[in-house]
Structure 1
Amino acid sequence: MIIPTIPSFRHILKGIWLPLLLMFVWDVLVTLLYFAQPERYQEFQSSALSRTTLTLFGTVIALFLGFRSNSAYARWWEGRVLWGLMINASRNITRLALSYIDSADARARELREAIVVNQAAYVHILRCQLRCTDRSEPAYRLLPADRAERMLAYTNAANALLNENGRLAAQALAEGYIDTIQQSRMEAVNIDVANAQGGMERIKKTPLPMQFRLFPQLFVRLFCILLPIGIAPYLGIFTPIGSSMVALMFLAALHIGDELVDPFANSAHDLPLEAMCTTIEIDLMELIERPAPSATQPVKGVLW
């Protein structure tokens, strides 16, 4: 996620510089053609492409892009809400484990610390699964080697860790450290965690329909090709500048939708999952008096 209020020009042009450059070259060629044969050009332009046609075409594309961008942002914002619920639930399960399971003996301390450490590892492994990155690093860093190896054997290691926490709560009940009401309350928080994970996986595995991705790209590029042909008689030598500015706005709107549609990808515009997971780990490790990592810092204005 980009941190500065005003992002750098490099972030703006990173995904659109190549099509924008091609559009500028096309604008220059159209402008040269207009000055080479202005009479024949105006005759063709007036009969084939009027200002009204371009205006209507551009208006429809703008509405289409606006609807697409809103749909993509809704997915991004839902992902942020779900991770907010995950942060709260992680703190809640830790508070319940530390409050309900007494630290009178070594076994009780082992159970409650295992629940807390599992939750810290769970969010990191879930982050790696959503971003399709290596999940072994946080597993072996936070969990005992045998438990990490056992969890990583599952296709959905995050879900396996969540089930492990449910098993530990049931074991604490069986050994008399908590009662049934306390175990039910802890299980309710685990259900909240599972629901949040399910929502994230739904967003990750359900892309926008093909029509939302293919048609806007096709129409925007077609409009950018036709635009200099329609405005060359009115802007003259300034056609490449004016046409490129319009192309920049349309291509930027198109790129924004592409970036926001998957909030869990590993790009500069996506949710800062690593920072949120580190925040959870810091909170949980400090509560059980274990060494906690430092907060994630932005890299070149981007928080990952």
Structure 2
Amino acid sequence: MIVTAVPRLTQIVREVWKPLLILFVWDVIVTVTYYVLPFRAPELPLTLFGSALALFLGFRSNSAYQRWWEGRSLWGLMINASRNLARAARNFLPDPEARDMKRTIVLRQIAYVNALRCQLRKQKVDDEVLRFLSKGEADFALSRTNTANGIVDGTGRRIDLARRNGWIDTIQQASMERVLIDIANAQGGMERLKNTPLPNQYRFFPTIFTHLFCILLPIGLVETLGFATPLGSTVAGLMFLAVLAIGDDLVDPFANTVHDLPLCAMCRTIEIDLLQSIGDEAPEPMVPDKTGVLW
């Protein structure tokens, strides 16, 4: 996620330069044709077209942002649920009998959020997951189609084992299970966002209408702007293409691009909080890289 306050115009131009270059060439062709082979440009209702397109693109961008913000809200819930699980394990499980069980539950939760991060970004499970699990636990989790769900299932079994060993009672077990339910619900919401794209109409028609408007724009402006048509038309087209690109950038909050949620940083936040809750040394929080992006 880009966290710098300075607008990254170069990033926007980098994403739209290809259609922008084509638009500029088309604007030049229309302008040269107008002066070499004079023609009367049709009176196109560009204001009406542009207003309707702006409303269409704005609605699409708002829908994409809602998906992005829902993803952020679900990760906020995941952070809170992870803290609640660690606090319950620390307070409910007695020392010294269940010290290892307490530590195992906390470390498994750190492994779980990192596994979920990898799944949402379509990446292979990395060392941030495996280093918090024993060899047998890692092999069992990796054998599951949904690795993250396999890890949280194992946590549930350990909570049940703690109850059968008499370390916690049924009320405490139910309290911890409610936290696991919150975790599972958050994961389900994230998977829904990841696996359900915007309807095709939201993606196809805005793209078609935007490019059609950019084609008609110089024809309607050439009589008014003359030789300045390529400049004016290209700048106006840039605004519409940029709004179109913004919707594409926000529609998948877990795509591992500079516009998406900083999953690595949020997983690091969970790791710091949970390790400190059991008295272990924790790493430093992640900071933005040199380009102002927090991953």
| TM-score tier (shorter) | over 0.9
Whole-Å Cα distance in 2 between the matches of residues 220 and 80 of structure 1?
Answer: 29
1:166-210 CA distances to partner (integer Å, 9 max, x unpaired)? 111111000011111100000000000000000000111100011
State yes or no: 1:84 paired with 2:84: no
Residue aligned with 2:15, SS: coil
Name the structure 2 match of 1:154.
144
State yes or no: 1:18 paired with 2:8: no
Name the structure 1 match of 2:95.
103
Among residues 238, 255, 272, which one is paired with 1:248 in the alignment?
Answer: 238
How much has 1:241 moved relative to structure 2? 1.0
Name the structure 2 match of 1:281.
271
How much has 1:15 moved relative to structure 2? 1.3
Q: Which aligned pairs between 1:1-304 and structure 2 lie closer than 5 A? A: 1-38=1-38, 41-42=39-40, 45-46=41-42, 50-52=43-45, 54-105=46-97, 108-299=98-289, 300-304=291-295
Whole-Å Cα distance in 2 between the matches of residues 134 and 290 of structure 1?
Answer: 27
Residue aligned with 2:131, SS: helix
Which piece of structure 1 moves more, 269-278 or 4-13? 4-13
How much has 1:163 moved relative to structure 2? 0.9
Whole-Å Cα distance in 2 between the matches of residues 131 and 100 of structure 1?
Answer: 35
How much has 1:292 moved relative to structure 2? 2.1
Which piece of structure 1 moves more, 274-283 or 292-301? 292-301
Residue aligned with 1:271, SS: coil
1:68-90 CA distances to partner (integer Å, 9 max, x unpaired)? 11110110010000000000000
Whole-Å Cα distance in 1 between the matches of residues 225 and 68 of structure 2?
Answer: 39
Which piece of structure 1 moves more, 29-38 or 200-209? 29-38
Structure 2: runs of 5 or more not aligned: none
Letter in structure 1 aligned against 2:66? A
TM-score by length of 1: 0.94
Runs of 4+ that moved beyond 4 A: none
How much has 1:295 moved relative to structure 2? 1.5
Q: 2:111, 2:130 within 8 Å by CA — same for their partners in 1?
A: no
Whole-Å Cα distance in 2 between the matches of residues 189 and 15 of structure 1?
Answer: 41
TM-score by length of 2: 0.97
Q: 2:110, 2:129 within 8 Å by CA — same for their partners in 1?
A: no
Percent of paired sites with the same residue: 55
Residue aligned with 1:249, SS: helix
Whole-Å Cα distance in 1 between the matches of residues 181 and 279 of structure 2?
Answer: 27
Residue aligned with 2:166, SS: coil
Q: How many aligned positions are there?
A: 294
Q: 1:121, 1:139 within 8 Å by CA — same for their partners in 2?
A: yes
Q: 2:218, 2:230 within 8 Å by CA — same for their partners in 1?
A: yes
1:251-299 CA distances to partner (integer Å, 9 max, x unpaired)? 0110010011100110011100110001101111122222322211212
Q: 2:210, 2:241 within 8 Å by CA — same for their partners in 1?
A: yes
How much has 1:56 moved relative to structure 2? 1.9
Whole-Å Cα distance in 1 between the matches of residues 264 and 157 of structure 2?
Answer: 27
Residue aligned with 1:128, SS: helix
Structure 1: runs of 5 or more not aligned: none
How much has 1:35 moved relative to structure 2? 1.6
Cα 1:89–1:280 change in 2 (3 A) is: same
How much has 1:138 moved relative to structure 2? 2.1
How much has 1:249 moved relative to structure 2? 0.7
